[in-house]
A = this chain, B = another copy of it.
């Protein structure tokens, strides 16, 4: 089982955007630079996060990306599903119906117990991911990371964020 490495990039970018003041945005190129990623590679993942309404993009020369809602309301599950899709990792191929002793399809009314058990375990994974909010990641970063790293990250955000005048943070959080 493997998660695409886009998940790591997506969480780092979302955590960085959580540090932007007010309604400001940050261009994708700046985030690519921050993590040594190819801008076109990162753009694909930023678009997926935007499509999933984790981020929103502001067009135009002074635009960029920002969180679509507060970091308290974004979980790791939101980000993982945005990048990896909502399908379960275990995909039942119903091989119980494909072999030499298979009966007519109408007999297989109940779902295969193997599928049921595998999906139950995946629910536990998703619950655990949903219990970590982006704001937890940011708070842990600020309290547990070497202060030089925190300072460098803050300085990067201050340098690359772009203030926007379109909406206030309160307007953004309205339903």
Contact = CB atoms under 8 A, between A and B. Distances in A.
Contact of A89 (B2, B15, B128): B2
A113 B76 CA distance: 12
B110 A145 contact: yes
A11 interface: yes
A70 to B, nearest CB: 18
A87 B116 CA distance: 24
Interface in A136-162: 136-137, 140-141, 144-146, 148-149, 152-153, 155-156
Contacts of A124: 124-125, 127-128
Contacts of A128: 120-121, 123-125
Given A1-B84, A121-B128, A149-B107, A114 B95 contact: no
Contact of A8 (B84, B103, B114, B120): B114
Interface stretch (A28-36, A46-54, A59-67): A28-36
Contacts of A91: 2-3, 5, 8
Interface in A103-134: 103, 107-110, 113-114, 116-118, 120-125, 127-129, 132
Contacts of A141: 113
A117 B95 contact: no
- Most chain B C-beta atoms within 10 Å of own C-beta, residue among A93, A109, A113, A146: A113
A69 interface: no
A71 interface: no
Interface string A74-103: 001000100010010111110110111111
Given A108-B146, A123-B128, 7 more contacts: A1-B80, A8-B114, A33-B100, A36-B102, A96-B149, A101-B156, A117-B137
